[in-house]
Structure 1
Amino acid sequence: MSTTTLVDIISNSSDKSPHKAAFRFEQEAISYRELEVKTTQLAKYLGSVGVQKGDRVGIFMNRCLESVIAVYGIMKAGAAYVPLDANAPHARTVFLLNDANIKIVVGTETFSKKLQKLLEAQSPLERLIGVQLKVTYQTTPWEEIYQVEIKGFKPILIAEEDVAYIMYTSGSTGLPKGIVHSHKSGLTYAGLSAQLFKVSPEDRVGNHAPLHFDISTFGYFTAPLAGATTIIIPEAHTKLPVSMLALMEKEKLSIWYSVPLALIQLHLCGLISEYNLTSLRCVLFGGENFTLKYLRALMQEWPHAKFYNIYGPAEVNQCTHYLIDELPPLDKPVPIGKVWGANEYKILNENDQELRGIGQVGELVVKTDTMMIGYWNNPELTKKSFYLENTSSNKTKKYFRTGDLVKRNLTNDLVFVGRNDRQVKFRGYRVELDEIETVLERHNLIKKAAVCLVNSSPSDTVIFAGIQLEKTTMISPNALKLYCKLHLPPYMVPQKIEIMKEFPKTSSGKIDLLAFKNKIKAI
C-alpha cells in the first residue's frame, strides 16, 4: 500500500510490523496494530458525533500515548488536529477554540478541571473526549472510545492537499497565528527527514518536544513512517537531567532531537559519563543557537554520535541541515547548512533582488513541498509571507519569506545572521517580542513596555521587560509576572521585569530598542 497521506503511515507500519512497539511512554507501549485499531475507534466515534472532513479538533494533553491516538484518529476522521498547550493561560486557549472553530477537544483526566472550565467558556466547544465529567452528555471517557466496534468502518477519502494540522505560534499583533499544514507538507517532511537521517525500524527516537511544538513531528511522523519506535519523554524528566540520562540509557535511544537548552542541561549536571549512551547515533538540535563551548563539550562526551544543526521555521518544517563533523571553533557560528532534497532558496535584499555573492546578507526565502498552506483565517498575512517569482516559462514559483537574515560562507553553507523583525528564538520557541509588549501595555497601570532577550549566564538567556508606569501608580514586578501568566504561555512570561523612569528614544520619539538593550546589559 502506498503512503499518500499522513494517515497511511500507521496503517502501513501496522501491516509490516503489527507487534512492534510504535510508541513508548514510561512503562507503557502501544504496538502498530494496537495503534491502528484505537485510532480507527476514535475516528469512527468522531464521525458518529458529527465531525466532518475539514473540521478542526483540539488536543489538550501533556506527553502521553493518548496524544498519538488523538493525532492519527483525528486525521483518520478527515479532520485537522490542533495542539492546545495545556499549560497556556485559559484566555489564550479560549481564543484558539474560537479562532479555529473547535467544537471537540480530546484530552485526558489529568486536566479534567481545566477542560471543564473550557467547556463553560464562551466558545464553539461542545464535547470533550478522554474525560468523564458531571455533564456526561458532553463528555466521553477513553474507555468508551476503546469499546467502539470498528467493523464496517469506511475510511474517509483524504487528499494530499487536505489540511492535516494547525499549529499556533506567537503573533506580532498580540494574537497567536495558526500555521496550516497539509497532508502533503507533513508527509513530505517525514519522508525527507527519514531519508536524510537514515531512520530505520531499528531506531529508537527520543521525542522531547510537546505536541504544540513543531519539532514533535519528527517523533510523531518521521519515526513511524520508517517503522521505528518513538519514546515520548515524560514531562517530569524534561526538568530533571539525571533522570533524563537514565531514561536515555534504559531506552537505548539512537536518535535525539531537541532544543539546545535540553542538551546543555544534560551536560551541566556533570553525570553524563556515568551513563552508557553508546546507542546514540544522531543528535539533532534546532530552534536556537547552541552555546559553542557546551556543544564542543557534548561532542567530546559522545564522540560516537553525529551532531546536526537543524534549521527551519514551523511554516516549512525543516529546510536546512548541517553536519558538524569536527569540533566547531569558538569564534565562528555553526552554519545552518544547505537546503535538502529538491528544496530551493534565494537570498533577497530589501528590494527583493537576489544576492548571490559570498558574505552578502539578506532575507532567506524557501521553496519546498514541506511548506504550509498559509495562516489560518488570515489571508492578508498569508499573502505577505510569500515571495512569488515569475519564471521564463510563465510559471510562478512560491517561496516562503522566513524573515531570517542569512549569508553564504566560503563552503556555500548558509549562516544565520539575525532577524529582519522582532521575532526571537527562545528555548526553541518562536516568540514575538511585540506580543509580550502588547499584553503588558493592556495592563491599566502600564504606560509603556519594551521587551528584549538578554544573557543571564554564559549558557542561557532570559526575556527582560522594562515598563514605564502611569503617574502616581505602583505595582511590583512579581505582580506583573502573575498578570503575564494569565495571558501568555509560560515560555513567554518575562523572567525579569524592571520598572523604568523613562526609555531611551530615537530622534523620531520612538523607543530606541538597541540603546534599551545596551542599557539593560549595564543594569
Structure 2
Amino acid sequence: MIYNLAQLMERTAGRFPEKEAFTCLNDSISYAELDRKANQLASCLIQNGLEKGDRVGIFMNRCLDTAVAVYGVLKSGGAFVAIDPFLPLNRILLIMKDCGIEQLLTTPSQSKKIKVISDAAPFLISIIGLSDEQDTKTVSWPSVFSRSLEKFVSPRILEDDLASILYTSGSTGTPKGIMHSHHNILALARLEAELHDSDEQDRIGNFAPLHFDQSLFGYFSGPLVGATTVIFPDSYVKLPASLSALVAKEKITLWFSVPLLLIQVLVHGAIEKQDFSALRWVRFGGEVFPVKQLRALMLKWPHVKFINSYGPSELFRCTYYVLDEPPKTDDPIPLGTVWGNTEYKILDANDREVERGESGELVVRTTTLMIGYWNDTERTENAFYRIAKAAGYDHIYYRTGDLVQENAKKELFFLGRKDRQIKLRGYRIELDEIEAVLLKNDAVKEAAVVIVQKDSNNRSLEAVVKLEELTEYTTDDLIRFCKNGLPPYSVPQKIAILTDFPRTATGKIDRKQIIKSLETPT
C-alpha cells in the first residue's frame, strides 16, 4: 500500500528501474535514475535547512529537470510551488513572500531572471540549479547529483501532509494559493489512470507547464502505472506543425490539453501528413471546445476516444464525458457525470437543492478536494459548503461558482459563472483582479474589464478606463502597467480610454453596454 507521492516513485522505480520515466526531446531519465536523483536533491534541501511542510519554489521552463525537482521536493517532506517563469517580477515576489519560499530550484537557462529575483528577495537562503555566483548561496545540479546517499534518511511523510501549493488568479488582485496534500494528488493519479485504463505501455503527452494543474496527469498518473511521460518544450507547444510532428514521432497514446492546443493542431498542424495510430485517448478541459472544431478533429482521428474533462483547480477534476463518435449537432457538449469517490449537489441562491432540470451552483465533495487556501482562513471557509452530520463532523463540498443543469440522464451541462471569473485559452482569469490592478495606477479613476465575443470562435479580453482629470496617459502606458502586475494571459488585448462610462439606473458601470459597443464594428 502506498499513501504518499514519495512511495509512488519508489515503488515504480522498483518495478521498472530501467524504463524511461520522462523524456524531453533527446533527453530521458529512467525510473531508477529519477528516484536516485530525487533522493540526492531531497538530501541537499534537508541539509540546507528544509523542514517538513516547508515550501520550495520551482522556477523552470518545461524540461526534464522539472521531474527531478518535483519528486526531490516531495521526498524531502517539502511542498513544491511551481512558479511561471514568464510572470512579472513583482508577482513572482508576491508568491514567494506569501508562502515563505526560502529555497528555489531552477536551471542555468534562467540565470538572468534568477539574478533579478535574488537581488529583490533577501529571504532566499539557497538557489539550486546554478553554478554561477549569486549573492544568495547557489548549488549546481552536478554538485547535487554527486552527493552520497549513504547517510540519507527520508522523512516520514503522511498522506495528509502538504505536497503542493498551486497559485491562481484572485479577485482582489492577490493570487490564491491552493493547498493540496499527498492524498489529494495520489487520489487524482489513481482516478486518471482508471479513467484511461492506462499502464506501463502508455506514452503520455505533457503539454502543460508545471504551474498548470493539467500537468499533474503526466507527473503523477504516468509514474503510478509505470508509463512514460513526454514533456513538450515551450517552443514546440507554440508551433502547431512542430508539435504535431513530435506527437506522432513520440507515439503518444494519451493526450490531455486545453481545447485551444487541439484546435491549433487541427488547423495548422498538417495532421494528415503524420501517423497518429498510437493515439488512443484525447482528453480536453479548461474551457469550452467549439463543437464544429471538435467534430472536425474527431473525423480526422476516428480511432481515438475523446473525453470532455471538467474541474476547478481546487479539486483538479471531477466530471468526464466520453464521446464515442463525433457530435451530430452543434449543441453544447455535456460536462458529463462525476467520476469515482465523488458526489455533487446543485444549489439555488439560498443553498437549497434544485429540482432536476433547474439551474444552480455546482458544489462538489470528492477525495481530491484541496486542504484550503494558503494563509487565508476566511477565503477557505467561504469556498466550502458544509452539511453538519454530527458535532465536529461535516460533509464538506467545494463551491465551484459554476452554474449547471442536470438532464434526465444525470449528465451535467455548464451554463456560466456566478461571479466574474472566466476561462480563456485554458487559464482561469478573474476580471475583478485585472480591474484591481488597473485601479492601482494613480492615473486611472475607474476601470471595467470584459470579454468581447468577436465571432463564434474568437473571444477577446478587453478593458475600458476613465482617467483622472488632467492626466496624460496612453493605452500603451496602461498595457505596460498591466504587464508589470499581471501574468501574460491576464493582460487585456486592448484598452480603451473613455471620458465617461455608460451607467445603469443605479449609477453602476453598465458592462453589458460596454460589451455591446466593443462588439459592434466601427
TM range, normalised to the smaller chain?
over 0.9
C-alpha separation between the residues in 2 aligned to 1:502 and 1:522?
Answer: 18
* 1:426 corresponds to: 424
Contact 1:264 1:459 survives alignment (8 Å) = no
Give, as a single letter, the amino acid of the residue that structure 1 aligns with 2:388. N
* 2:385 corresponds to: 387
Give, as a single letter, the amino acid of the residue that structure 2 aligns with 1:344. E
Give, as a single letter, the amino acid of the residue that structure 1 aligns with 2:370. M
* 2:168 corresponds to: 169
Shift of 1:395: 4.4
Give, as a single letter, the amino acid of the residue that structure 2 aligns with 1:207. N
Shift of 1:242: 0.3
Contact 1:433 1:452 survives alignment (8 Å) = yes
- Of 494, 500, 503, 2:501 maps to 503
Q: Identify unmatched segments of 5+ residues in structure 2.
A: none
Deviations 1:301-323 (A, max 9, x none): 11110110000000001100001
Q: SS of the residue aligned with 2:314?
A: helix
Shift of 1:467: 1.4
Shift of 1:394: 8.8
* 1:42 corresponds to: 41
C-alpha separation between the residues in 2 aligned to 1:502 and 1:192?
Answer: 52
Q: Identify unmatched segments of 5+ residues in structure 1.
A: none
Question: Identity of aligned pairs, percent?
Answer: 46
**Runs ≥4 in structure 1, deviation > 4 angstroms?**
392-395
* 1:128 corresponds to: 127
* 2:376 corresponds to: 378
Q: SS of the residue aligned with 2:275?
A: coil
Spell out the pairing of 1:310-325 with structure 2 (5 A cutoff).
Answer: 310-325=309-324
C-alpha separation between the residues in 2 aligned to 1:222 and 1:457?
Answer: 37
Q: SS of the residue aligned with 1:217?
A: helix
C-alpha separation between the residues in 2 aligned to 1:204 and 1:515?
Answer: 49
1:92–1:155 Cα change, 3 Å: same
* 2:138 corresponds to: 139
Shift of 1:330: 4.1
Shift of 1:364: 0.3
The answer to whether structure 1 residue 455 and structure 2 residue 453 are counterparts is yes
* 2:240 corresponds to: 241
Shift of 1:460: 3.0
C-alpha separation between the residues in 2 aligned to 1:322 and 1:294?
Answer: 17
* 1:188 corresponds to: 187
Q: SS of the residue aligned with 2:213?
A: coil
* 1:30 corresponds to: 29
What's the Cα RMSD here?
A: 1.4
* 1:268 corresponds to: 267
Shift of 1:136: 7.0
C-alpha separation between the residues in 2 aligned to 1:456 and 1:19?
Answer: 52
The answer to whether structure 1 residue 404 and structure 2 residue 410 are counterparts is no
Give, as a single letter, the amino acid of the residue that structure 2 aligns with 1:109. P
C-alpha separation between the residues in 2 aligned to 1:297 and 1:165?
Answer: 38
Contact 2:240 2:269 survives alignment (8 Å) = no
C-alpha separation between the residues in 1 aligned to 2:242 and 2:488?
Answer: 23
Q: SS of the residue aligned with 1:316?
A: coil
Give, as a single letter, the amino acid of the residue that structure 1 aligns with 2:139. T
Contact 1:407 1:417 survives alignment (8 Å) = yes
Shift of 1:457: 4.5
Contact 1:264 1:294 survives alignment (8 Å) = yes
Contact 2:118 2:135 survives alignment (8 Å) = no
Give, as a single letter, the amino acid of the residue that structure 2 aligns with 1:348. L
* 2:101 corresponds to: 102
* 2:519 corresponds to: 521
C-alpha separation between the residues in 1 aligned to 2:116 and 2:512?
Answer: 42
Deviations 1:285-342 (A, max 9, x none): 0000011111110001111101100000000011000011222244411010000102
Contact 1:97 1:125 survives alignment (8 Å) = no
Give, as a single letter, the amino acid of the residue that structure 1 aligns with 2:264. Q
* 1:477 corresponds to: 475
Shift of 1:412: 1.4
C-alpha separation between the residues in 2 aligned to 1:200 and 1:454?
Answer: 43
State how many pairs are aligned: 521
Select between 387-396 and 28-37 the one with higher mean Cα deviation.
387-396
Q: SS of the residue aligned with 2:484?
A: helix
Shift of 1:456: 3.8
C-alpha separation between the residues in 1 aligned to 2:231 and 2:474?
Answer: 39
C-alpha separation between the residues in 1 aligned to 2:53 and 2:480?
Answer: 38
Shift of 1:516: 2.0
C-alpha separation between the residues in 2 aligned to 1:380 and 1:137?
Answer: 35
Q: SS of the residue aligned with 2:230?
A: strand
C-alpha separation between the residues in 2 aligned to 1:211 and 1:429?
Answer: 13
1:137–1:85 Cα change, 3 Å: closer
Give, as a single letter, the amino acid of the residue that structure 2 aligns with 1:276. D
Q: TM-score, normalised by structure 2?
A: 0.97
C-alpha separation between the residues in 2 aligned to 1:342 and 1:22?
Answer: 28
